Amino acid sequence: MSGSNFVDYVKIFCRSGKGGSGSAHLRREKYIPKGGPDGGDGGRGGHVILRGSKQLWTLLHLKFRKHIFAVNGGAGSGAMKTGADGKDIYIDVPLGTVAKHAETGNMLFEITEENEEKIIVKGGRGGLGNVHFKSSTNQTPRYAQPGEELEEDWFILELKVLADVGLVGFPNAGKSTLLSVVSAAKPRIADYPFTTLVPNLGIVSYHDHKSFVMADIPGIIEGAHEGKGLGHRFLRHIERNAILLLMIPADSNDIMKEYDVLINELKQYNPELLDKKRVLAITKSDLLDDELMDEIRDEINVTPYLFISSVTGFGIDRLKDLLWQTMTG
């Protein structure tokens, strides 16, 4: 998933189809000159529908498809023939896509399951033909209903990455390196901040053919909840993770202070994030000897935590075990 191909925000204009008009036809045959009303109903206008797809990881396919129009319903006709329904338009989106009204920002719905369908603009109902308006006092109604009007508006689609474990930490905490070690994902890795500018997903194999999905979320900075940097775009991906793996490097000046800053950023953005299960990993532990590890243990006042090194593999199997137990416990 390269930076140029990962798109997690698009603004689109959707228009449904107008309902077809009902028919005001009167039956006229050779031997039935006054056969009465036989106008059929109009067809329904097409919906625009969002549909979840596991095959998609990005909204890239919608980046240049700004206008999406469904088809109008067909008009009714004589012999009580109903007009054709307008064709529905399906927009396939990744799981974790949230639809919002562009002007108000109100959330409309979210797509979280394979083949889940939600109508974003509803097609107008077809109008009733004149056959419905026949009565004892009006044997020959010469009118029918017009079809309902279409719906149209601008909408925002945002992607919140769905993963079992989200890696949370400041830039250069070793998140991308860990993901590359425990999965087949190949994120960009370098020894400087903000190497990761988009989320990377990897599938982590576990015992007995089990697996779980891990997401490398771009590094948080202090003030991210206020939108500093790309704060809001980064933080929203964390909302969809079952477990938060907070990662702080062993060479940090103050591990617990860094931990508290991360927790505060999550809390300020969305207090519900603190309800998620959390694990603390002290990364780059190959830099430590036993004496330094003991000093750090005396500082840490949260559980569960463990020391890991993605470079040497130290603690990686224990980390997988802990994450699996936390997920299933």
Query: Cα dihedral sign for 120, 123, 124, 130?
Result: negative
Helix H or strand E encompassing 249: strand 241-249
Topology agreement, domain 1-159 and domain 163-328: no
Whether the predicted model's global pTM rises above the 0.75 cut = no
The percentage of the chain sitting over the pLDDT mark of 70, rounded to a whole number, equals: 86
Separation CA 154–CA 134 (nearest Å)? 41
Any idea where the domains of the chain sit in the sequence? 1-159, 163-328
Are 274 and 238 in contact, with CB atoms under 8 Å apart?
no
Which of 324-328's residues contact partners 24+ apart within 8 Å by CB, and which partners? 324/206, 324/210, 324/212, 326/243, 326/277, 326/279, 327/164, 327/165, 327/212, 327/242, 327/243, 327/277
The predicted structure's pLDDT at residue 141 = 92
Specify the residue for token string 């199997």.
Answer: 317
Mean pLDDT, residues 41-61: 93
Mean pLDDT over 23-27 rounds to 90
Give yes or no for residue 229 having a pLDDT over 50.
no
Q: What is the pLDDT of residue 121?
A: 98
Residue 115 pLDDT > 50: yes
What's the pLDDT at 225?
Answer: 46
φ, ψ (nearest 5 deg) of residue 101? -75, 130
Parallel, antiparallel, or unpaired: how do β-strands 241-249 and 163-168 relate? Answer: parallel
User: Mean pLDDT for the chain?
Assistant: 86
Is pLDDT of 189 > 60? no
| pLDDT digit string, tens, across residues 303-313 | 899 999 999 99
Burial (CB count within 10 angstroms: exposed 0-12, middle 13-18, buried 19+), residue 17 = buried
Of the options 3.30.70.1350, 3.40.50.300, 3.50.50.60, 1.10.10.10, the CATH number for the domain spanning 163-328: 3.40.50.300
Helix (H) or strand (E) holding 2: none
Tens digit of each residue's pLDDT (9 = 90 or more) over 128-187: 999 999 988 888 898 999 999 999 999 999 988 777 898 888 877 788 889 888 886 554
Q: In terms of C-beta density within 10 A (0-12 exposed, 13-18 middle, 19 or more buried), how is residue 126 classed?
A: buried
User: Comparing 71-85, 124-138, 192-206, 236-250, which segment has the lowest mean pLDDT?
Assistant: 192-206
Cβ(230)–Cβ(151) below 8 Å: no
Q: Residue 139: its pLDDT value, please?
A: 86
The domain 1-159 belongs to what CATH superfamily?
A: GTP1/OBG domain (2.70.210.12)
Residue 5 corresponds to which amino acid? N
Lowest mean pLDDT among 268-272, 298-302, 321-325: 268-272
Residue type, 307: F
Q: Which residue has the higher pLDDT, 96 or 123?
A: 123
Which pLDDT score, from 0 to 100, does residue 236 have?
A: 72
